[in-house]
Amino acid sequence: MGFPELGSPSNVPLKFLSFFSGRPGFVLKVAYKYIGKDTGVQRMGKLTVFLGALLISYQAHAGFLGNTLDADYLFPTDGTVFDPMSNQVVRAGPEWNVQNFSIDVSDTMITLSRASPINFISGSFNGLSFTDIFGTIASIISVTVDASTTIAGFDNSRVSFDSDSIFLNFESLNDSPNFFAKVNVEFGSVPEPTTLALLGLGLVGAGFAKRRIH
């Protein structure tokens, strides 16, 4: 499928650029395909648009909402993927359904629910991981089990994390129907723009200057 004609950067609505938030890889692919054969001022105009989109794509948000998470079911260790669950952009409603779990991520919480009973067999790890694969989310600084969690034995000792990933370990736990677990996530400050984004800003300015000259 082709891409619509963009024309002058001044004609591109802000909502078009906001579409690229958290999608720097997609921006680069589109730019390569869309402006690769253009020359001169035409190329500079389109390049300005896509560099603006690239800048937006690298702006980190302090929470999960609007960003892409990778999730995996890990067993029997936290380095062994038992069931790859794919990448999802965090929006309203559940992001995954796996092993009869419904997994819903909000801006600062991860909620797991399941209507039928479950017994987690033993292993060094039997559970889920969630990872910010594009680096668009602020650093994770705290993950705690919410008081509304109903599964016996699932407490903070079964939660681990680093700046980009969260691991929830249910190894050897058993539960009755209506399984429910929730963790609260706290984030650090939003990181500064990357070097690539700063370079892009300079090129955008140069693009507008060249258009004025012509």
Mean pLDDT of 161-183: 91
Residue 164 has pLDDT above 80, yes or no: yes
Contacts of 142 (CB under 8 A, 6+ apart): 184, 185, 186
Contacts of 162 (CB under 8 A, 6+ apart): 140
d(CA 205, CA 211): 10
Report residue 88 as tokens.
Answer: 């999802």
87 - beta bridge partners? 70
Asked whether the beta carbons of 63 and 107 are under 8 A apart, the reply is yes
The larger pLDDT score, comparing residue 143 to residue 48, is at: 143
Q: For 97-126, write each residue's pLDDT tens digit.
A: 877 889 999 999 999 998 888 889 999 999
Q: Which of 44-48, 128-132, 192-196 has the highest mean pLDDT?
A: 128-132
Helices (H), the chain: 14-18, 24-35, 40-57, 195-213
- What's this model's pTM, rounded to 2 decimal places? 0.65
3-state secondary structure 49-103: HHHHHHHHHCCCECCCCCCEEEEEEECCCCCCEEEEEEEEECCCCCCEEECCEEE
Residue 148 has pLDDT above 80, yes or no: yes
Over pLDDT 70: what percentage of the chain? 59
